[in-house]
A and B are shown apart, each in its own frame.
Chain A
Amino acid sequence: MSTQIILLVLLPFAAGLACYLLRAAFLRSLVVLATAAILTAASVALLSAGPISYSPGPFLGLGWGLIVSVLDFALLGVILFYGFKHGNLLIKIFSVLQMLGLLILELFWVDHSAQVPAFHVDQLSAVMVLIISIVGSLICVFALPYMKEHEEHLHLEASRQPRFFLFLVLFLGAMNGLVMANNILWLYFFFESTTLCSFMLIGHDGTEIAVKNAVRALWMNSAGGLAFVLGMMFTYASVGSLDIQVILASGGAGAGLLVGMGLICLAGFTKAAQVPFQSWLLGAMVAPTPVSALLHSSTMVKAGVYVVLRMAPAYAGSFVSDGVALCGAFTFLACAALAIGQSNGKKILAYSTISNLGLIIACAGINTPAATAAAIFLIIFHAVSKALLFLCVGTIEQRIGSRDIEDMRGLYLRMPQTAWITITGILTMLLPPFGVLMAKWLAIESASGQLVVVTMMALASALTVVYWARWAGTLLAAPGGGRPAPEGLPALIRVPLLALVAGAVLLSVAAPQVYDAVVAPMLPAMPSPIEAFYLYPLFAVLGAGLLLALRAARRSRATAYSAPYMSGANIDMNPDGTWNGPMNQPVGAVAGNYYLPGLFGEERLTTFVNVAAAALIVLMIGGAL
């Protein structure tokens, strides 16, 4: 198993470097495809391994602990450099403070002779590795043709793809390391690596707005990093170990540990872009689509929820736990409401991601076995569906030149294949019997003991329906009668899309198996909540119903056509609703969605949401003192 672990962490680092050094596009594609295949295989093999601990032997005569410590400072140095380069005071302060904290921890506090296994792989880690390696790899593959076209759009003189793929592939390694790390210092190292990678990727296009947003991402995540360092210090002071397994086992060790956990959760919040830190993830949209897909679905933000979920046993039953649940549920609600006010497709996806992460974090905070199961389910299903949706939006954007959902009106006629894939993706996020909704159901059931949390979840769940259903409907809003034209997607784009859509559906079908294989071993024995899902009957009935409906719809092509109702003013049988206006001139029908800016507009809600969220976080950490 140790080979897999080394492979999963180091191969992406090596492959990233290879991408950077080998300038030929063909070789780069080959490296990315090979890495994707190897990572996928290794992650699948890891799943069957069961809990194992592993420490790599010394490298070139140096202990890995030392190497990681040196790299830690090197990373912080790089971040500090960018702080100076962009003249951002916050980044400078946060990285210097982190260095100080780390210095104290490394030089004066930590007993370096204690043996701490560097990696520990249990079910949760294995699941995360699986998601990162498979979904992340698919995104990397998708990025190959996407970046080619992207650079053609930009008319670059020299390709910047080598640098792009360096960080894109490296990111996967950092994430794999993060979810498998057992030494909390190592966890911190990988945590910071993802910060740096995301900074590089967000700023990749080098435009003014890209740099501005990248810097914002960097300072927010550095703030998270600082919280992490402080959290480590508190934790070490009260537990006296860097071993995460030991920390988890020492639950209820007192206020010091709880404050530490609260701070580490805060670091997780910044990484998961929970309110009030949501702005960096929204800003990350300026990056090329594969980056947003990677940040939102499988990597960066999942690192945040992973940390919160990983530490959950350490703060179970405490005030911090309730605080985490509250913060998560509030994010779930606030971002679902903000998503309603948006017409920018990527922004809707971004808010929906944050909102779903909020739900996962709320589940971690509720901290019962059923809630944990719901959280893991959500991580799995959300990663697949959201990656799919991001790639869909990217594909659509390259074709129609816009990411506004109003411009996607009637996309079905222009891009039938992408449209139905997108709609399926949306439905997998929204409706039973698909996994995300099943997890949401489990979450609501397990939250019903907490009044405020469950009320927020109920509201958020309704808001979620609105923005998804509206989007799916908009894609369909096509004038009838016409046959859609075939769209001819490149294979490297079509294959990841089809793989993800098939994955999203099939994973939901296999939810009981997923539960048994992945979730059950992590939890104390409890009756599988899936039993209550009636999953197969549901799938059977709904599937049969869908087939019936499809058959009826197909037949209806032969039935009489009726023009859209335009009070009879329509011109002939015109399918697009053009009507006979003043002076007998044709007037096109224009429809638009309700975005309710007066209720859910960003300008209206953001300030309030940020203040409320900050108050909740203060409550969460302050309550532990």
Chain B
Amino acid sequence: MITTILLILVGLVLAPLAGGLLAGIDRRLTAWFQSRQGPPIMQAFYDVAKLFGKQPMASNPWLVLCAWVYLVAAALSCVLFFLQGDLLLIFFVQAIGAVFLVMGAMSVPSPYSQVGAQRELIQVLTYEPLLILVFVSLYLATGSFQVSDILAHETPLLLQLPLMFIVLGYALTIKLRKSPFDFSTSHHGHQELVKGVLTEYSGPYLGIIEIAHWYETVLVLGVCALFWSTNVLMMTLLLAVTYMAEIIIDNTMARMTWRWMLKYVWCIGLGLSVVNLIWLYAKI
């Protein structure tokens, strides 16, 4: 019981803090790559705190509703992950947030917001099948969709599922809104002409969405961590290397078009998944 409450608290409180810190580190490293000094590590928290101090403005009550639902869904999916629930369920709960984010953006007739919403949908379309296949591969390797059972697996899954990890990397890049897949909105402020799907969310509502994004970052990285869950050191190393690779990709790639992304990611992602899944079937 106490463990459960602790886990809920970890998911609810520590996860967004970690996500925010990670966002700060990300910006710092990016600045370093660009031979700049970059903002303080705590910058993401300053940003959000400032946003909460702004005057609430909205062109539509739906925006407010959708921002809140996005946050609730993201937090819930993160908590479910720390409670070691069913991966597919976690993913579907997270999808609630994605759908509401899009609905909110679509509720305002600004063309930037509209186009952003459509592009966000295409991003969802691109990463969703990949994530489901990653979960299926975890199931095939461990015999369960439950995070608790996957954690109980004795050998590092990365060795069995190397290609699936790459597939997950694609989904991670899209989910983190990093180049070359950052066309619904970029996580870098200065990289955007307007702000895509987030255009109409402002002040505290943008803050809410930012926090929800931290939850989602932690969630996806958590899924990455499952690939080497046997050893904490290796898990940390894997996450560090993965995130570093994300930042390098982000800094060396240009933003591409959604057509390219849909075709490229589906072809590569599905191809890698099928090959890796066939290995697993062959073993069973």
Contacts and interface: CB of A to CB of B under 8 A. Distances in A.
A564 B58 contact: no
A565 B61 contact: no
Interface stretch (A164-172, A301-309, A456-464): A456-464
B230 interface: no
Interface string A544-586: 0110111011111101111111110000000111000000000
B72 interface: yes
B112 A448 contact: no
Contacts of B86: 532
B163 to A, nearest CB: 14
A437 B140 contact: no
A145 interface: no
Interface in A433-455: 437, 441, 444-445, 448, 451, 454-455
A465 B99 contact: yes
Given A480-B59, A594-B118, A594-B121, A589 B270 contact: no
A577 B113 CA distance: 12
A542 interface: yes
A604 interface: no
A561 B59 contact: yes
Given A451-B281, A466-B125, A534 B56 contact: no
A469 B102 contact: yes
Interface string B36-55: 00000000000000000001
Contact size range, B? 35 or more
A593 interface: yes
B273 A472 contact: no
A473 B200 CA distance: 14
A215 B74 CA distance: 50
Contact of A473 (B55, B67, B102, B274): B102
B65 A550 contact: yes
A577 B107 CA distance: 12
A593 B118 contact: yes
Given A462-B125, A545-B76, A548-B68, A455 B118 contact: no
Nearest to B91: A441
A472 B56 contact: no
A562 B58 contact: yes
Given A576-B109, A593-B118, A480 B58 contact: yes
Contacts of B22: none
A556 B61 contact: yes
Contact of A542 (B72, B89, B103, B136): B72
Interface of B: 55-69, 72-73, 76, 80, 85-86, 88-89, 92-93, 95-96, 98-99, 102-114, 117-118, 121-122, 124-126, 128-129, 132-133, 136, 139-140, 145-146, 194, 199-200, 202, 259, 262, 266, 270, 273-274, 277-278, 281
Given A469-B103, A542-B76, A594-B121, 8 more contacts: A430-B99, A441-B92, A476-B62, A477-B106, A532-B86, A534-B89, A556-B63, A589-B110
